[in-house]
């Protein structure tokens, strides 16, 4: 349960009953009454003698006001994440003086979010240079640079390594999308009632989530939960625990939104549970899937609906080529995401989180840091340097497998020494 930030901002309510509608208990020192903000139901909430308000909340998902007491008619709602996003709660507009205070704080918030933007870019693009150009304006960026508007200014992002790849430009857009969604929540009470969850967790996790599924960060609030961010939190918690003195291995497959012929949307079981960190409290949960052979299947609504064999799931796409070579151990995971917009997240025994989408590994989390693999761009450079596509594919695959096993070395003999700069960073030569 979380506390709504809109204390004294929810509409004025008057309970239809001064006692529990189920057992007629009256509010007293040890019996607290709570009223439903959606349908007006009044129920008791007492740890020893009655839980009718809690039962109503669990059955309907409707938000509850904190208490029903004489003379106190302002609601303070308690809801879970799902109810908080979907509940229809009428909010009052802030008084004029409060609106003026919000507007007066906007320059400070703008400056704060410009700082957040700089930190996000520095996290994923440590070698890039960010320049503030001034007020937002039109125009095209120069070759090899990215220009964009954000929080009252126009920026230019450049790097000495050359042009940005498609994935890097997409990641930059994801950072802007997350920060913009959070920014607008601060100045819109009605929007905050549905999107306050966007402030949960680490911002880097949100940037990765928006890269893979931008729907939860769209301008119009969506009822679809942020499944990628929730899954990352589950894997983060799992990485900090052990089971039978062994580190946890697990994985999840998020069913995509793009219709496809190979896999129909999974039906939701009657007693389905949300895929969230609450599941990690179940000691046997980590025995359900090992991440390598079996995965937890999560529907579009964020519910755990089934366990699947990743090789059987990927068999439907056996005739389709992968966009880039991949680690042999996780070839099925890459293939499982070729169609339908599915996303696969795996926690490995060494605590690394791998994320697969569009038939390739796109992110890796290791040693406390997210990294964009950008495999498509790197393989294209490798193939260009080697020249022979068949040899380049084999060498690239061997290099990935050796790196995954943390052993061995890869030696490459070049016919033209000047092409070494296409394979190895100039600073390492």
Model confidence pLDDT, tens digit, residues 63-81: 776 555 544 444 444 443 3
pLDDT attached to residue 239: 92
Query: 285 and 419 share a domain?
Result: no
Q: What percent of the chain has pLDDT over 70?
A: 79
Classify residue 86 by burial, with Cβ atoms within 10 Å: 0-12, 13-18, 19+.
middle
Pair of tokens at residue 22: 């189920």
Answer yes or no: is 201 within a domain: yes
Mean pLDDT value of segment 343-352 = 94
Check pLDDT > 80 for residue 266. Answer: yes
Q: Which domain holds residue 209?
A: 96-217
Q: How far apart are CA 286 and CA 251, in angstroms?
A: 9
Pair of tokens at residue 152: 């009252």
Q: What H or E segment, with its residue span, contains residue 146?
A: strand 146-150
pLDDT attached to residue 191: 82
Query: 288 and 355 share a domain?
Result: yes
- Residue pLDDT, tens place only, 268-286: 999 899 999 999 888 788 8
Ranges of beta strands (E only) in 232-351 are 242-243, 246-247, 250-254, 273-274, 294-298, 303-309, 343-347
Answer yes or no: is 222 within a domain: no
Answer yes or no: is 270 within a domain: yes
Pair of tokens at residue 228: 């990628």
Mean pLDDT value of segment 367-396 = 91
Mean pLDDT value of segment 223-239 = 93
Answer yes or no: is 156 within a domain: yes
pLDDT attached to residue 9: 38
- pTM (whole model) above 0.75: no
Q: How far apart are CA 2 and CA 312, in angstroms?
A: 40
pLDDT attached to residue 234: 95
Indicate the number of domains in the chain.
4
Mean pLDDT value of segment 416-426 = 77
Q: Are 397 and 328 in contact (CB under 8 A)?
A: yes
Q: How confident is the model at residue 26 (pLDDT cuts 50, 70, 90)?
A: low
**8-state DSSP, 352:** -
Q: How confident is the model at residue 250 (pLDDT cuts 50, 70, 90)?
A: very high
Query: 263 and 158 share a domain?
Result: no
Check pLDDT > 50 for residue 29. Answer: no
Q: How confident is the model at residue 373 (pLDDT cuts 50, 70, 90)?
A: very high
Establish how many alpha carbons lie within 13 A of residue 397's alpha carbon, considering only the half-sphere containing its beta carbon. 15
Query: 317 and 249 share a domain?
Result: yes
Pair of tokens at residue 387: 């020249």
Query: 57 and 134 share a domain?
Result: no
Q: How far apart are CA 358 and CA 371, in angstroms?
A: 17
Query: 6 and 38 share a domain?
Result: yes
Query: 233 and 362 share a domain?
Result: yes
Do strands 294-298 and 250-254 pair parallel, antiparallel, or not at all (unpaired)?
Answer: parallel
Pair of tokens at residue 201: 């967790």
Check pLDDT > 80 for residue 217. Answer: yes
Do strands 343-347 and 353-357 pair parallel, antiparallel, or not at all (unpaired)?
Answer: antiparallel
Answer yes or no: is 45 within a domain: yes
Domain boundary among the residues 217, 239, 254 is at: 217
Site of tokens 């796109």:
362
Rounded to the nearest 5°, which phi and psi values hold at 320? Answer: -100, 135
- Residue pLDDT, tens place only, 95-110: 555 556 667 778 888 8
Answer yes or no: is 91 within a domain: no
Query: 332 and 235 share a domain?
Result: yes
Query: 142 and 270 share a domain?
Result: no
pLDDT attached to residue 56: 79
Q: What is the CATH number of the domain that holds 240?
A: 3.40.1700
Give the burial string for 280-299 (b: 16+ CB within 10 Å, else e): beeeebbeebbbbebbbbbb
Q: How far apart are CA 140 and CA 171, in angstroms?
A: 19
pLDDT attached to residue 424: 76
The whole-angstrom distance between residue 71's C-alpha and the CA centroid of its chain comes to 42
pLDDT attached to residue 410: 66
pLDDT attached to residue 1: 29
Answer yes or no: is 352 within a domain: yes
* DSSP-derived secondary structure for 238-254: HHT-EETTEE--EEEEE
Query: 367 and 394 share a domain?
Result: no
Mean pLDDT value of segment 11-29 = 59
Domain boundary among the residues 181, 196, 217 is at: 217
Answer yes or no: is 77 within a domain: yes
Q: How confident is the model at residue 399 (pLDDT cuts 50, 70, 90)?
A: confident
Q: What is the CATH number of the domain that holds 78?
A: 3.30.40.10
pLDDT attached to residue 84: 36
3-state secondary structure of 131: strand
Mean pLDDT value of segment 29-56 = 68
Instruction: Give the N- to C-terminal CA distance of the chain in Å, as an integer.
Output: 55
Do strands 353-357 and 32-35 pair parallel, antiparallel, or not at all (unpaired)?
Answer: unpaired
Q: How far apart are CA 410 and CA 399, in angstroms?
A: 6
Do strands 42-45 and 273-274 pair parallel, antiparallel, or not at all (unpaired)?
Answer: unpaired
Domain boundary among the residues 217, 249, 274 is at: 217
Q: Are 92 and 13 in contact (CB under 8 A)?
A: no
pLDDT attached to residue 99: 55
Query: 213 and 339 share a domain?
Result: no
pLDDT attached to residue 79: 40
- Residue pLDDT, tens place only, 154-191: 899 998 877 899 999 999 999 999 999 999 988 887 78
Query: 154 and 187 share a domain?
Result: yes
Q: How far apart are CA 254 and CA 377, in angstroms?
A: 25
């Amino acid at each position: 349960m979380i506390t709504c930030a809109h204390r004294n901002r929810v509409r004025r309510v008057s309970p239809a009953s001064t006692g529990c509608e189920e057992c007629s208990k009256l509010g007293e020192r040890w019996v607290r009454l709570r009223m439903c903000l959606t349908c007006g139901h009044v129920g008791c909430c007492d740890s020893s003698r009655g839980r009718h308000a809690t039962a109503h909340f669990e059955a309907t998902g409707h938000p509850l006001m904190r208490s029903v007491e004489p003379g106190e008619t302002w609601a303070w709602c308690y809801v879970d994440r799902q109810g908080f996003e979907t509940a229809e709660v009428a909010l009052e507009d802030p008084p004029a003086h409060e609106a003026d205070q919000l507007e007066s704080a906007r320059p400070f918030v703008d400056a704060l979010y410009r700082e957040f933007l700089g930190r996000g870019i520095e996290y994923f693009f440590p070698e890039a240079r960010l320049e503030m150009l001034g007020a937002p304006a039109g125009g095209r960026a120069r070759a090899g640079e990215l220009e964009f508007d954000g929080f009252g200014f126009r920026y230019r992002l450049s790097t000495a390594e050359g042009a940005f790849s498609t994935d890097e430009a997409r990641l930059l857009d994801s950072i802007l999308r997350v920060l913009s969604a959070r920014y607008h929540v601060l100045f819109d009470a009605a929007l905050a009632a549905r999107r306050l969850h966007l402030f949960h967790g680490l911002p880097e996790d949100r940037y990765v989530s928006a890269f893979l599924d931008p729907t939860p960060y769209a301008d119009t609030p969506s009822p679809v939960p942020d499944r990628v961010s929730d899954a990352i939190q589950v894997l983060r918690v799992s990485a900090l625990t052990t089971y039978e003195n062994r580190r946890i291995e697990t994985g999840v497959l998020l069913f995509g939104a793009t219709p496809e012929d190979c896999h129909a949307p999974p039906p939701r079981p009657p007693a389905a549970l949300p895929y969230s960190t609450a599941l990690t409290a179940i000691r046997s949960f980590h025995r359900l899937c090992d991440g390598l052979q079996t995965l937890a299947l999560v529907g579009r609504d964020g519910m755990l609906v089934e366990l699947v064999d990743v090789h059987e799931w990927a068999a439907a796409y056996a005739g389709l080529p992968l966009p880039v070579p991949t680690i042999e151990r996780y070839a099925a995971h890459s293939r499982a995401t070729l169609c339908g917009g599915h996303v696969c997240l795996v926690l490995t025994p060494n605590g690394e989180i791998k994320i697969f989408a569009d038939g390739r590994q796109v992110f890796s989390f290791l040693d406390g840091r997210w990294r964009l693999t950008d495999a498509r761009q790197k393989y294209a450079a490798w193939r260009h340097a080697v020249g022979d596509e068949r040899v380049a594919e084999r060498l690239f695959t061997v290099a990935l497998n050796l790196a995954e096993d943390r052993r061995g070395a890869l030696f490459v003999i070049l016919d033209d020494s000047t092409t070494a700069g296409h394979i190895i960073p100039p600073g390492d030569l």
